[in-house]
Amino acid sequence: MYQIENTIEIDRNYILKEDESTYHSRCSGELLQSHKRYRLIDLFCGAGGMSLGFSEVFGQPFQSVWANDFNQFCGDTYNENFGPHCVVGDIVEILEQGKIEIPKADVVIGGPPCQGFSLLNKNRENDPRKELWRPYLEVVEKSGASIFVMENVPQLLGTFEHGEIVEAARSLGFHVWQDKLIVSA
């Protein structure tokens, strides 16, 4: 049994059967045959690696509707691969100016900059990038998304900012789950 947030117990066998069923549906193309497409926003999108993982190329029923990165080259690459909906610019300024409407979405994905938490950054204490999770959650709220996936470095877990992220997400009505993803060859 898994225990989530100390209140809900989930039978591991149920999760595995559900995952296996979804996997077979994806492999057979059944997921894409359903005409339901989940609207996706990708923040701090770079060239679109996370969007690719959520795309039809990998058998996923997601349609990218909006993206953002502050780097013009990344935005151009994203737009070339996923359509012309990546807005290039500082997300903080975009939200403050209010000139661009955040579209409705089912899911928001992205990885706010990790440099503020990385052990390689010797000046991480006062790094302003540690606060970029705030506009990320503002987009989650404005889009009406019911799910978000935020990726970052393991050093974020257990920090003051991590606690703030969890509390802010809960205040928006989300149940929060976090863990380290370990990939082995």
- The catalytically annotated residue of 45, 74, 86, 114 is 114
| Dihedral angle over CA of 164, 121, 129, 4, nearest 10 | -30
d(CA 105, CA 119): 34
d(CA 134, CA 69): 15
Compute the radius of gyration of the chain from its Cα atoms: 17
Kindly give the residue spans of alpha helices, DSSP state H, lying in 34-177.
49-53, 72-82, 91-97, 133-143, 160-171
- Give the list of residues 6+ apart from residue 12 with CB closer than 8 angstroms, or none: 1, 2
* Residue 114 annotated in active site: yes
Q: Which of 63, 61, 178, 45 is nearest to 109 (CA)?
A: 45
Q: Give catalytic residue positions.
A: 114
